Amino acid sequence: MRVFITGGTGFVGRALGRALGEAGHRVTVLTRSARAAQGLPPGLEIIEGDPTRPGPWQEALAGHQGIVNLAGASIFGRWTRRYREEILASRVLTTRHLVQALAGRPAGEDTVLVSASAVGYYGFCGHRELDESAPAGDDFLAQVCGRWEQEALAAREAGARVVLARLGIVLGPGGGALGRMLPVFRLGLGGRLGSGRQWFSWIHIQDLVRALVFCLEEPGLKGPVNCTAPEPVTNRELTRHLARALGRPAFLPVPGPLLRLVMGEMGSVLLEGQRVLPAALEGAGFVFSFPGLGKALAHILSPGTRAPGRA
C-alpha cells in the first residue's frame, strides 16, 4: 500500500512512518519544512507543503491508497483566544484540504482515510464507561473534535472508507505525555493532579501504531474507533504506577485551583477525564500488546527501549 501521512514528523507520525516502511509499504510524509523531517527513517518520501493551505502537495495524493491524518497544533499550553483558533484551524483546514484532494481522484479507486481525533470528543463524563456509541460533549475540545470529524466524514462522498481514530494519551519513550512527566517524577516531585480520581485513557505508542495500521488494512472498520488501552486508570493510579516504576516518591499533589490558575482552561482538561474503552478495535479482533499500565511503563522505561521513529 502507498500511504500518505500528515503530521508525519510528530511523535506518533514518526513511529507510524517507520512501522509502515518496515512492513514494506511506501510512505509519503507531508511536512512544512525539510528541517522538520530530519531524522526520519530512510526510504520515506518527503513532500514540503502546508496542509492548512491548498497547494501542489494535494496532487501528490494520487496513487496513494491510504491517508493518515495526524496534523494539528498541540493542545498542551495556555489556551488564549488566539491559540484556541490555531488548535481548531490546524485540524479543520488540514482535513478539509485532504478531502478536497481526494475528491479530485479518479472514480473507482479504493481509498481509506484514517483521520485522528481524540477522546476529548466525549467531554467530561465522570466515571461512566464510554465506547464509540457515546455522545459528544460540549466543552471546547469536544467541539473541536466534532468539527474535525465532520470534515473527515466528507471524504465518504469521494468513495473513501473513513476511520475516525479517537486517540487517548499516548505513552512512549522519547516524547509524548511521558516526556513532560518524567523529569518531574525523577526528581521525586511528582504527584496526583487535584483529587486524582479523574480517569486517564492512555495507549502505548506501539499499540497505537499497530492500531492505526490495523485501521488502514481492516476493510470492516469505519467510523469512530477508540484508540485507547482496554484498562484505563485514574490519575491517582497513574501516579502510583509511574513512581513505582521509577523508584521515586510521589507525594506532592498539585491542587486543582493552582493548576487552573497556571494552565487556564487546559487545567480543567487535566482535572477531568474520560473512561474510554476500545470496543470497536477489540470487536474487530485487535489484540493489545500492552493492555495494562504496569507492563506498558516497564517496557517504555526499560534501558533497551528506543525512541520510536528515529533514523
pLDDT at 221: 97
pLDDT at 310: 58
Helices (H), 76-204: 81-103, 140-153, 176-186
Find all residues with CB under 8 Å of 244, minimum gap 6, and list them: none
Residues 6 or more apart whose Cβ sits within 8 Å of residue 66: 1, 2, 3, 4, 25, 111, 112, 114, 216
Cross-strand pairs, 5: 29, 68
Confidence (pLDDT) at 295: 95
Residue 250, pLDDT score: 80
Write down the pLDDT at residue 262: 66
When computed from its CA atoms, the radius of gyration of the chain, rounded to whole angstroms, is 19
Rounded distance between C-alpha atoms, residue 8 and residue 27, angstroms: 10
Bridge partners of 99?
A: none
Which pLDDT belongs to residue 147?
A: 97
Burial of 102 from C-beta contacts in 10 A (0-12 / 13-18 / 19+): buried
Output the DSSP codes for 44-61.
Answer: -EEEE--TTS--GGGGGG
Long-range residue pairs from 78-82, CB within 8 A, at least 24 positions apart, any chain: 78/263, 78/264, 78/266, 79/140, 79/264, 79/265, 79/266
Question: Rounded to 10 degrees, what is the CA torsion of 98, 99, 102, 103?
Answer: -140
The residues, any chain, with a CB within 8 Å of residue 93's CB and separated by 6 or more, are: 51, 52, 53
- Give kind and range of the element (H or E) at residue 203: strand 202-204
Of the candidates 27, 83, 87, 102, which has an alpha carbon nearest to the alpha carbon of residue 52?
87
Measure the CA–CA gap between 211 and 279, rounded to whole angstroms. 13
β-sheet bridge partners, residue 276: 130
The pLDDT tens digits along the chain (311 residues) read 999 999 999 999 999 999 999 999 999 999 988 888 888 888 899 999 999 999 999 999 888 999 999 999 988 878 899 999 999 999 999 999 999 999 877 655 689 999 999 999 999 999 999 999 999 999 999 999 999 999 999 999 999 999 999 999 999 998 888 887 888 888 787 888 888 999 999 999 999 999 999 999 999 999 999 999 999 999 999 999 989 898 888 877 887 787 676 677 767 777 788 999 999 999 999 999 999 999 999 999 988 776 665 55
Please state the CATH superfamily assignment of the domain spanning residues 2-170+201-231+275-289 in this structure. NAD(P)-binding Rossmann-like Domain (3.40.50.720)
Helix/strand/coil percent split, the chain, to 5: 40, 15, 40
**C-beta separation of 127 from 72 below 8 A:** no
Q: How far apart are CA 248 and CA 187, in angstroms?
A: 8
Which pTM value belongs to this model?
A: 0.93
What number of H helices and E strands is found in the chain?
10, 13
* pLDDT for 261: 64
| Cell matching residue 198 | 479523574
Q: In 3-state terms, what secondary structure has residue 224? A: strand
